[in-house]
Amino acid sequence: MNSDRQFAPATQRNREPILEVLREVLPPTGTVLEISSGTGEHAVFFAPRLAPRKWQPSDMNPIAIASIAAWREFEPSENLAAPIAIDARDPIWNVEEPISAIVNINMIHISPWSACLGLMAGANWLLPSGGILYLYGPYKQGGIHTAPSNEMFDQSLQLQNSEWGVRNLEDVIAAAENQKLALLKVVAMPANNLSVVFQKQ
């Protein structure tokens, strides 16, 4: 099963800065739902460091689900749950317990805009008043890329899939506000990325 483990080099670079922000903004207890967990490397890193919170990974891709399960077996934590299948675009998510926060890392630029809209709708549906939605990734601000490297990255994404691309931060904030999620803070991160934190009203 450990042979199912996938590796994303960016995880090693961004996990510490992300953890620092998560420690500041997440509720002190409860279950954190990670949407689009990818390889599972973030999940096995964050879970033990954010105890006593429970960490619930998820993904829509069966290969990712297998990788998360393999990483969980390789680096087990009592508060790390088995991965569940969730497509952010679905109107109802396969979640059975109360969720206090949602974390989404590097998804909305490598998925259709409908996935971002679905993420916001799901957060509105699941989160209690005061619950947190945390996003991480590259963004344009005022329609302008924050670095030449982000512009090149955006072009490469759109060549792969015309529905992908670095999003305008203002569009993401507007989508969140339409789902009763108020912008709490924006934190500049290494490598021209942002942490964007919303709170359910």
CATH number of the CATH domain containing 138: 3.40.50.150
Residue 164 has what pLDDT?
95
How do beta strands 193-200 and 181-189 pair? antiparallel
Number of domain units in the chain: 1
Residue 1 has pLDDT above 70, yes or no: no
Cβ contacts of residue 19 below 8 Å, gap of 6+? 45, 46, 49, 50
The β-bridge partners of 104 are: 35, 135
pLDDT digits (tens, 9 = 90+) for 25-46: 999 999 999 999 999 999 999 9
Mean pLDDT for 67-72 is 98
What backbone torsions phi and psi does residue 189 show, to the nearest 5 degrees? -120, 165
Name the E strands within the chain: 31-35, 54-59, 84-85, 101-105, 132-137, 139-141, 144-145, 167-168, 181-189, 193-200
Q: Band of the pLDDT at 10, cuts 50, 70, 90?
A: confident
**Rg value, the chain, Cα:** 16
pLDDT digits (tens, 9 = 90+) for 125-143: 999 999 999 999 999 999 9
Q: Band of the pLDDT at 6, cuts 50, 70, 90?
A: very high
